[in-house]
Amino acid sequence: MSAAGVSPGRAAVVAGWGGALPERVVTNHEIAARLDTTDEWIRTRTGIRERRQAAPGQSTVDLAAEAGRAALRGGRADALVLATSTPDQMCPASAPQVAARLGLGTVPAFDVNAVCSGFVYALATASGFISGGIAERVLVIGADVFTSLIDPGDRATVPIFGDGAGALLLRAGAPGEPGALGPFDLHSEGELAELLWVEAGGSRRRVPDDPGERFLVMQGTAVFRQACARMAESSRAVLEEVGWMVGDVDRFVGHQANIRILQATAKHLGLPADAVVANIDRVGNTSAASIPLALSDAAADGTLSAGHRVLLTAFGAGLTWGSTVLTWPELP
Ligand code: UT7
């Protein structure tokens, strides 16, 4: 789907934000003490210094509810969309449990799985609910305990991924007002699914032939190239649709997969380095939580303030990718 326009009457407008991280910090030094890697390799190849890891028994629903509760400071919600690829159970979806935890009653609640692009897909879904008149206020959460998919002995993936959750509360408003989301640019390329996947545990390979098949396998270099090309392409499409020049973008909030991917994509687009919002050094790649956590951190520390024109772009397994834009609103 290319840069579909929003409905002329109603837009989804950001009304609140929140983030949640597990307490446990895993430093590069801790990883280097048990795997064949170094703090220097991880820092220079990925930009990550530390990441957070969920405690045993701490789940996606736990983190999602904490981030969602923070975003609800901006008011109530009458629907909930949870972006995750690590739900508490394979079936059912986790969103209803999050809604129950937040005391939202019997609101519609469901998961969206587009892995690291999940939050942008979930924002698009929620915007459709609002512009179509199905809901007035939608809580959109991106949450993953992605370390549950990581082979603890794999030096290619252990240093990269962390756990967390982030959320935005959306309300019905007018297109063009500060905080209004859209247009959206969303894509997928299923023929390349094997570049980044967990082979077993689903309906095709129900029981792993080999225990490694229940963990994420990543062809890092190929994924790196795809991520840079697709996020740049999608960003350009959404900028063209909304009518912004590259120079109009104040903050570039890309999926936090690797600082080199963020910098290369920004460079491709012609964005200055200081437009790049990055918290990857402290949280690593938190999959669907990555963009809302970066937004929450930037809103909390003042990197992001009212009036900034923001470009959001994500890329992930599937493959999936997508982008959207908004002007950051004045929020209490
Ligand atoms: O969320 C979306 C999904 N994920 C991503 O977007 C990740 C995309 N990919 C990447 O971020 C990068 O490809 C990685 C960080 C995964 C790897 O960086 P790279 O610069 O592409 O390294 P590489 O895989 O080409 O490996 C370079 C060297 C290799 O050694 P040789 O063959 O040059 O001797 C690897 O064996 O680095 C070695 N290597 C390591 N060395 C120390 C790979 N992992 C490690 C490690 N520590 N952890």
Residue pair 135/108 in contact by the 8 Å Cβ criterion:
yes
**Ligand 1 within 6 A of CB of 224:** yes
CA distance 278 to 262: 8
Residue nearest to atom 19 of ligand 1 (CA): 221
Predicted confidence band at 325 (pLDDT cuts at 50, 70, 90)? very high
Whether residue 49 is found in the same domain as residue 169: yes
| Total of domains in the chain | 2
Whether residue 28 is found in the same domain as residue 144: yes
- Does residue 159 fall inside a structural domain? yes
Whether residue 77 is found in the same domain as residue 198: no
Reported as a single tens digit per residue, the pLDDT across 138-179 is 999 999 999 999 999 999 999 999 999 999 999 999 999 999
- Does residue 28 fall inside a structural domain? yes
Residue pair 323/235 in contact by the 8 Å Cβ criterion:
yes
- pLDDT computed for residue 208 by the predictor: 84
Q: The whole model's pTM is what?
A: 0.96
Whether residue 64 is found in the same domain as residue 44: yes
Distance 210 CA to ligand 1 centre (A): 24
**Ligand 1 within 6 A of CB of 60:** no
CA distance 262 to 313: 10
Residue nearest to atom 25 of ligand 1 (CA): 221
**Ligand 1 within 6 A of CB of 221:** yes
Q: 115, 141, 173 — which closes off a domain?
A: 173
Whether residue 169 is found in the same domain as residue 190: no
**Ligand 1 within 6 A of CB of 54:** no
Whether residue 217 is found in the same domain as residue 301: yes
Residue nearest to atom 38 of ligand 1 (CA): 156
pLDDT at 259 exceeding the cut of 50:
yes
Q: Which domain holds residue 159?
A: 11-173
**Ligand 1 within 6 A of CB of 61:** no
Lowest mean pLDDT among 50-64, 90-104, 201-215, 243-257: 201-215
Residue nearest to atom 47 of ligand 1 (CA): 37
- Does residue 291 fall inside a structural domain? yes
CA distance 223 to 88: 27
**Ligand 1 within 6 A of CB of 219:** no
- Does residue 4 fall inside a structural domain? no
Distance 156 CA to ligand 1 centre (A): 6
pLDDT at 180 exceeding the cut of 50:
yes
Catalytic hit among 28, 258, 279, 285? 285
Atom of ligand 1 nearest to the CA of 258: 11
Q: What is the DSSP string of 90-137?
A: SSS-SHHHHHHHTT-TT--EEEE--GGGHHHHHHHHHHHHHHTTS-SE
Q: What is the mean pLDDT of residues 244-253?
A: 97
**CA 184 vs CA 87, 93, 296: distances in Å:** 25, 25, 21
- pLDDT computed for residue 293 by the predictor: 98
Whether residue 18 is found in the same domain as residue 156: yes
Whether residue 222 is found in the same domain as residue 77: no
Residue nearest to atom 42 of ligand 1 (CA): 37
163-173, strands of its sheet edge to edge: 11-20, 163-173, 137-145, 79-83, 109-112
- pLDDT computed for residue 212 by the predictor: 86
Q: 173, 192, 221 — which closes off a domain?
A: 173
**Ligand 1 within 6 A of CB of 263:** no
pLDDT at 44 exceeding the cut of 60:
yes
Lowest mean pLDDT among 6-10, 19-23, 209-213: 6-10
CA distance 254 to 265: 9
Q: What is the mean pLDDT of residues 288-312?
A: 97
Catalytic hit among 28, 113, 228, 255? 255
Active site residue 255: yes
Distance 158 CA to ligand 1 centre (A): 11
Q: 146, 173, 200 — which closes off a domain?
A: 173
- pLDDT computed for residue 2 by the predictor: 47
Angle formed by the axes of helices 60-71 and 290-301, nearest 10°: 40
Residue pair 198/215 in contact by the 8 Å Cβ criterion:
yes
Among 31, 85, 216, 221, say which to mutate for ligand 1: greatest number of ligand atoms within 8 Å of CB.
Answer: 221
- pLDDT computed for residue 75 by the predictor: 85
- pLDDT computed for residue 8 by the predictor: 61
**Ligand 1 within 6 A of CB of 264:** no
